[in-house]
């Protein structure tokens, strides 16, 4: 364990070469988006090495789930990657459904996909605001939150909560959607289409933004694969890894959407991929919003869920990449072991490689476009 | 100033008057003025460990806008901050860091515990080995906000409560003993 006193000793004695300087970024730092601790070795302004130190928000979620029942354990995962709370819940619910072979009604499947895509947009909206703030622009934050608030209101109507929704349960969704759901989603889609050009004017075509992100934090296709990157980070390097396309779940095989790919591999490419992904999410929502089938929103399940003995694995595409849930069941009412394969952890592992040789100012751009959520990494 | 004179001005003077010899009037009315000024320019520290931080960002955004109450100057360094909003879970590894952040802040300093995790560990109360069961085990807390995560309105209410608390000019001990705020 790397304690605080050791870190301070490092800075004063400056191990290694004479010109090297070791500085600590975090755990309290506005650009680390939480409590990530980076030990950065510098030669002048050039980054020589980055050592991430984790565990400042390790809440032992995996161990906790071993003592929670199959109905309870989905709720804790909302707090894991809280920006993709719906998608985390869905991954857990799908694992239980897969183990118990529960048939989910069509209506629930469509609602799930709609909620997932709304979550994805909300997550990317927040990311635009936070990343622009890291790069010194404050206005995009307000623009992005204007649309994001509309989504949180839609979530609140149907799910009862703004952020940690706990809406996906094994067998379907917890309640039926709010009567105003379709109307509000359509209003949001319209607003988003009108306003997305503002982001283009404000951020994408901004000369300062472009010169700070183009060519910064390059990640090649081979490296993206070998570091296990997923989501927009890998897709910006040209790796086709969208779980919605490769292993379609729910109704993703019935809707039309493109997997957004870019080959530049730099911070700007990661930005463009996320912007285009939001447009694809809007496309999916538009296809489904008018044709939500009638029927039950939840399959009839037993009060106490007891999956059979065995090992089960499910993967979904969160806003950050591939989330895998590995469940070992002993046939009891609680899981024997649960392992989450979180996208943020693998994406963070590539940070050292991406930032090495760059300037420390560029580290902000690189880290900002990785879109890290620290509780997702530490769990 | 003689004590007899203080009794004469008492009827129309807004400040508190203590029967102490010399300058009693000026000191006590300055206290009120300073507390009023302090309560309306609280600079929070950008400290967020998990989910509640997102609701804190929502509160900062245009719809809720906590700058209406004088909180918009969020500071990244504890040396410039007046209030620390503990937004999120505090785990054992983070505990010493939180203590150090609090120690680095200049007096007077205030603490708001936002969300169930900062109050008591919240959803991570049972069956975990790494979560601090309440941030008040580490640093003293002025205002608690329940919720997981609390709504932005709840955070605004907490900020207003903190302002009222500062304006009343009482210490934590006095409030705990049951004085009226």
Residue A3 confidence (pLDDT) above 70: no
Extract the tokens encoding A298: 């939840």
Of A32, A53, A74, which residue constitutes the final position of a domain?
A53
Residue B75: pLDDT band by 50, 70, 90 thresholds?
Answer: confident
- Of A275, A283, A359, nearest to A114 by C-alpha is A283
Residue A60 confidence (pLDDT) above 70: yes
Tell me what the mean pLDDT of segment B80-92 comes to.
89
Neighbours of B126 (CB within 10 A): 11
Contacts of A163 in chain B (CB under 8 A): 51, 54-55, 149
Of A14, A35, A53, which residue constitutes the final position of a domain?
A53
CATH number of the domain where residue B103 is located: 3.40.50.12280
Contact A34 B48 (CB under 8 A): yes
Residue A226: pLDDT band by 50, 70, 90 thresholds?
Answer: very high
Does residue A67 sit in the same domain as residue A49? no
**Which range is least confidently modeled, A287-291, B21-25, B86-90, B122-126?**
B21-25
**Which range is least confidently modeled, A269-278, A289-298, B16-25?**
B16-25
In a domain, residue B119? The reply is: yes
CA separation for the pair B54, A34 (Å, rounded): 10
Does residue A27 sit in the same domain as residue A114? no
Does residue A272 sit in the same domain as residue A301? yes
Q: What is the mean pLDDT of chain A?
A: 86
State pLDDT tens for residues A87-144.
999 999 999 998 888 888 988 999 999 999 999 999 998 888 888 888 888 888 888 8
Extract the tokens encoding A102: 């529960």
Does residue A41 sit in the same domain as residue A124? no
State pLDDT tens for residues A237-246.
988 888 888 8
**Number of domains comprising chain A:** 2
Residue A306 confidence (pLDDT) above 60: yes
State pLDDT tens for residues B38-59.
888 888 888 888 888 888 888 8
Does residue A13 sit in the same domain as residue A83? no
Q: Provide the domain limits for residue B104.
A: 44-166
Contact A146 B58 (CB under 8 A): no
Does residue A194 sit in the same domain as residue A233? yes
pLDDT at A5: 46
In a domain, residue B62? The reply is: yes
In a domain, residue B159? The reply is: yes
Does residue A66 sit in the same domain as residue A28? no
CA separation for the pair A106, A172 (Å, rounded): 9
By the CB < 8 Å criterion, does B115 face chain A? no
Contacts of A72 in chain B (CB under 8 A): none
- Give the β-pairing of B44-45 and B83-87: parallel
CATH number of the domain where residue A326 is located: 1.10.645.10
B168: exposed, middle or buried (Cβ count in 10 Å: 0-12, 13-18, 19+): middle
In a domain, residue B75? The reply is: yes
Residue B15: pLDDT band by 50, 70, 90 thresholds?
Answer: low
Query: The complex's ipTM?
Result: 0.82
**Which range is least confidently modeled, A94-103, B13-22, B137-146?**
B13-22
Does residue A9 sit in the same domain as residue A75? no
Does residue A18 sit in the same domain as residue A139? no
In a domain, residue B176? The reply is: no
Does residue A109 sit in the same domain as residue A138? yes
Counting residues of chain A whose pLDDT is more than 90, the rounded percentage is: 10
Residue whose entry in the numeric block shows the structure tokens 């769990």: A379
Residue A313: pLDDT band by 50, 70, 90 thresholds?
Answer: very high
Does residue A340 sit in the same domain as residue A371? yes
Contacts of B124 in chain A (CB under 8 A): 59-60, 64, 76, 79
Q: What is the mean pLDDT of chain B?
A: 80
Residue B6 confidence (pLDDT) above 50: no
In a domain, residue B19? The reply is: no
CA separation for the pair A242, A232 (Å, rounded): 9
Q: Model's pTM, two decimal places?
A: 0.84
**Which range is least confidently modeled, A51-55, A303-307, A308-312, B175-179?**
B175-179
Contact B89, B48 (CB under 8 A): no
Contact A329, A95 (CB under 8 A): no
Of the candidates A30, A79, A162, which has its C-beta nearest B50's C-beta? Answer: A79
Please give, rounded to a whole number of angstroms, the shortest distance from the CA of B91 to a CA of chain A: 6
**Which range is least confidently modeled, A7-16, A231-240, B93-102?**
A7-16
Residue A326: pLDDT band by 50, 70, 90 thresholds?
Answer: very high
In a domain, residue B22? The reply is: no
Residue B5 confidence (pLDDT) above 60: no
In a domain, residue B49? The reply is: yes
Contact B93 A28 (CB under 8 A): no
Does residue A23 sit in the same domain as residue A168? no
Q: Provide the domain limits for residue A14.
A: 4-53
**Number of domains comprising chain B:** 1
Annotate A202-233 with b (16+ C-beta within 10 A) or e (fewer).
Answer: bbeebeebeebbebbbbbeeebbeebbbbbbb
B75: nearest CA in chain A? A30
* CA quadruple B138, B143, B146, B152: dihedral, nearest 10: -120
Please give, rounded to a whole number of angstroms, the shortest distance from the CA of B18 to a CA of chain A: 44
């Amino acid at each position: 364990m790397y304690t605080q006193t050791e870190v301070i000793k490092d800075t004063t004695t400056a191990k290694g070469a004479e010109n090297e300087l070791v500085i600590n970024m975090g755990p309290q730092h506005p650009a680390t988006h939480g409590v990530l601790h980076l030990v950065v070795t510098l030669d002048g302004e050039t980054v020589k090495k980055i050592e991430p130190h984790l565990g400042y928000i390790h809440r032992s979620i995996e161990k906790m789930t071993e003592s929670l029942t199959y109905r309870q354990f989905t709720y804790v995962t909302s707090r894991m990657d809280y920006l993709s709370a719906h998608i985390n819940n869905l991954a857990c619910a799908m694992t239980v459904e897969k183990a118990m072979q529960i048939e989910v009604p069509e209506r629930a499947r469509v609602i799930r996909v709609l909620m997932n895509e709304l979550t994805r947009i909300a997550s990317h909206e927040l990311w635009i605001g936070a990343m622009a703030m890291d790069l010194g622009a404050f206005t995009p934050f307000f623009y992005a939150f204007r649309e994001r608030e509309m989504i949180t209101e839609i979530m609140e109507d149907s799910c009862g909560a703004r952020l940690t929704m706990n809406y996906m349960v094994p067998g379907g969704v917890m309640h039926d959607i709010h009567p105003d759901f379709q109307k509000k989603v359509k209003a949001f889609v319209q607003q988003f289409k009108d306003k997305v050009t503002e982001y283009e004017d404000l951020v994408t075509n901004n000369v300062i933004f472009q010169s700070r992100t183009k060519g910064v934090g390059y990640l090649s296709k081979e490296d993206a694969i070998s570091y296990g990157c997923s989501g927009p980070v890998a897709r910006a390097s040209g790796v086709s890894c969208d779980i919605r396309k490769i292993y379609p779940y729910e109704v993703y095989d019935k809707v039309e959407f493109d997997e957004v790919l870019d080959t530049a591999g730099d911070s700007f490419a990661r930005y463009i991929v996320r912007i285009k992904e939001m447009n694809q999410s809007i496309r999916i929502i538009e296809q489904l919003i008018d044709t939500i089938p009638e029927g039950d929103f939840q399959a009839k399940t037993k009060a106490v869920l007891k999956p059979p003995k065995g090992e089960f694995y499910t993967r979904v595409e969160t806003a950050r990449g591939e989330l895998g849930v590995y469940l070992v069941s002993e046939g009891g009412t609680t899981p024997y072991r649960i392992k989450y394969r979180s996208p943020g952890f693998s994406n963070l592992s590539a940070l050292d490689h991406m930032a090495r040789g760059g300037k420390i100012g560029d580290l902000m751009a690189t880290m900002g476009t990785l879109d890290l959520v620290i509780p997702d990494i530490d769990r | 100033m003689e004590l007899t004179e203080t009794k004469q001005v008492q009827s129309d003077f807004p400040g508190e008057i203590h029967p102490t010899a010399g300058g009693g009037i000026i000191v006590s009315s300055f206290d009120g003025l300073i507390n009023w000024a302090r309560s309306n320019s609280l600079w929070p520290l950008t400290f967020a460990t998990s989910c509640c931080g997102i609701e804190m960002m929502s509160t900062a955004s245009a719809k809720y806008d906590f700058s209406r109450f004088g909180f918009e100057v969020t500071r990244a360094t504890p040396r410039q901050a007046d209030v620390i909003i503990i937004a999120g879970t505090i785990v054992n590894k983070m505990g010493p860091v939180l203590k150090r952040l609090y120690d680095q802040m200049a007096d007077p300093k205030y603490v708001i515990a936002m969300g169930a995790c900062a109050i008591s560990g919240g959803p991570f109360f049972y069956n975990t080995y790494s979560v601090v069961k309440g941030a008040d085990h580490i640093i003293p807390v002025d205002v608690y906000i329940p919720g997981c995560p609390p709504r932005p309105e709840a955070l605004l209410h907490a900020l207003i409560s903190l302002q009222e608390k500062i304006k009343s000019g009482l210490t934590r001990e006095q409030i705990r003993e049951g004085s009226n705020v």
